[in-house]
Amino acid sequence: MTGEILCVGTELLLGDIMNTNAAFLARELAALGISVYHQTVVGDNGGRLREAVSLALSRSDLLVMTGGLGPTYDDITKETAAQALGKKLVWNQQAYDRMEAYFLRTGRVMSENNRKQALMPEGAVVFQNENGTAPGAALETDGKIIVLLPGPPSEMEPMFCDQVRHYLEGKTGQTFFSRTVHLFGIGESAAEEQLRDLMESSSNPTIAPYAKTGEVLLRVTAAAPDREQALRLLAPAVEKIQKRLGPYIYGIDVGTLQHAAVLALKQRGLTVSTAESCTGGGVAKRITEVPGASEVLRAGICTYTNEMKAELLGVKEETLKTCGAVSAQTALEMARGARVRTGADIGVSVTGVAGPQQSEGKPVGLVFVAVSSPWHESEMELHLARGSGGERERVRHLAENHALYAVQQTARKIPQR
């Protein structure tokens, strides 16, 4: 099956937002074995949208569209798609009821133009929107399929995962199962070099690397009629990867670094407290992204000034004076202070120069991360900058990664209670 992706939105044409939808859908369609040769972006313009839809249908079996499903007069994606496949729009009471319930639940007032969102192409499969107002839909005429999805990623992604993926599997007649191996401390090309022969020789399962900021995921995907057979195909490939890249693997199907850290703490009945300077609360924020983090997080203390580092965390004035706020010794005393003052099992700290300016004469990207537990204390020096400008959030994110990884590794060293 060939497919293409058409994203509708003036804000994409103006570069106001990044087209994360295209990347997400490209990955998902590839994982479903659908060959995508074109991605297109157009604005909310009737003529150009019609042209783009008709061009796509002339060369592909499946067209996945995002955006332009809203209630306003310039939202015309649904109308254009319906017309292209010769469908009328008809009232969908279920979609309307869902929307009404959504407005009730959120205490917002439904406006007259929201009614437009309950009109659906005749005979369409409707995908309910659990996270917003616009429902999605799939339309089919003469073997050509259009899938309509809302534009906001927070609505589109769960709708795809919970409903659309299953719908498309029914169309392709194949089911795909994946396992994800999470790597930390190795780059994408280095990982790829270690696995090139496996990646090239293996077609079922396939092995594909994905780089995230500061980490690498390996997606191992098998096509099979059912789950059990897929798992049988996946196991030997995952084992081979473990054999080659073991020391870099922090988890399998584990979600994110923060999920892995929280899991390691939970399994051992441990708690953590954070002490942050340059990351400004980012480590605590990421830990608390994990539902149930309250079981493992005692407190997060963000101290941006020397005074607060001394007062709230007990970092010695002497240390701040002689080593500076950005130093291994300060990091260690911060981690220790966070642990002892909050009664946690593990303290983790980050102090560094996120930029854009250097600080204490120390360069942007210099970051110290420390962990402290009754069993183990350590600190590390990191150099996280690589370019000039626009680096602040990247440095902070990488520093958070190292802190979360350190928490997981520290927790793993402590025997289960």
Which residue number, 139 or 345, has a Cβ lying nearer to its own copies?
Answer: 345
In the complex, minimum distance from the CB of residue 177 to its own copies, in angstroms, rounded to a whole number: 14
Those residues whose C-beta lies under 8 Å from the C-beta of residue 328, and which sit 6 or more positions away, are 368, 370, 379, 380, 381
The candidate with the shortest Cα–Cα distance to 315, out of 296, 295, 329, is 329
The candidate with the shortest Cα–Cα distance to 121, out of 103, 144, 100, 151, is 144
Residue 321: Cβ within 10 Å count: 9
321 makes contact with its own copies (CB under 8 A)? no
In the complex, minimum distance from the CB of residue 88 to its own copies, in angstroms, rounded to a whole number: 25
192 makes contact with its own copies (CB under 8 A)? yes
Which residue number, 90 or 101, has a Cβ lying nearer to its own copies?
Answer: 101
Q: Whole-angstrom Cα distance, residue 191 to residue 176? A: 24
H/E stretch holding 66 reads strand 62-66
50 makes contact with its own copies (CB under 8 A)? no
The candidate with the shortest Cα–Cα distance to 403, out of 338, 351, 359, 363, is 351
228 makes contact with its own copies (CB under 8 A)? no
Residues within window 85-124 making contact with its own copies, judged by CB under 8 A? 102, 105-108, 111, 113-114
Full 3-state SS string of 328-396: HHHHHHHHHHHHHHHCCCEEEEEEECCCCCCECCECCCEEEEEEEECCEEEEEEEECCCCCCCCHHHHH
Scanning 84-92, 222-230, 241-249, 303-311 for contacts with its own copies by CB under 8 A, the matching segment is 303-311
70 makes contact with its own copies (CB under 8 A)? yes
Residues within window 123-152 making contact with its own copies, judged by CB under 8 A? 129-132, 152
> Checking DSSP bridges between strand 62-66 and strand 2-8, what pairing results, if any?
parallel
Size, binding site for its own copies by CB under 8 A: 105
In the complex, minimum distance from the CB of residue 311 to its own copies, in angstroms, rounded to a whole number: 8
> Checking DSSP bridges between strand 144-149 and strand 62-66, what pairing results, if any?
parallel
Residues written for the chain = 417
282 makes contact with its own copies (CB under 8 A)? yes
Which residue number, 88 or 212, has a Cβ lying nearer to its own copies?
Answer: 212
Q: Please identify which residue in 77, 80, 163, 274 interacts with its own copies, judged by CB under 8 A.
A: 274
In the complex, minimum distance from the CB of residue 370 to its own copies, in angstroms, rounded to a whole number: 18
Which residue number, 89 or 190, has a Cβ lying nearer to its own copies?
Answer: 190
244 makes contact with its own copies (CB under 8 A)? no
In the complex, minimum distance from the CB of residue 143 to its own copies, in angstroms, rounded to a whole number: 21
In the complex, minimum distance from the CB of residue 11 to its own copies, in angstroms, rounded to a whole number: 5
357 makes contact with its own copies (CB under 8 A)? yes
Residue 246: Cβ within 10 Å count: 8
Residues within window 162-181 making contact with its own copies, judged by CB under 8 A? none
In the complex, minimum distance from the CB of residue 122 to its own copies, in angstroms, rounded to a whole number: 26
219 makes contact with its own copies (CB under 8 A)? yes
Please answer whether residues 180 and 218 qualify as being in contact, where contact means their C-beta atoms are separated by less than 8 angstroms: yes
CB burial class (10 A; 0-12, 13-18, 19+) of residue 27? middle
In the complex, minimum distance from the CB of residue 254 to its own copies, in angstroms, rounded to a whole number: 16
**Token pair listed for 108:** 């917002």
In the complex, minimum distance from the CB of residue 41 to its own copies, in angstroms, rounded to a whole number: 4
**Token pair listed for 370:** 């420390």
Q: Please identify which residue in 220, 222, 297, 407 interacts with its own copies, judged by CB under 8 A.
A: 297
Q: Please identify which residue in 43, 185, 255, 324 interacts with its own copies, judged by CB under 8 A.
A: 43
208 makes contact with its own copies (CB under 8 A)? yes
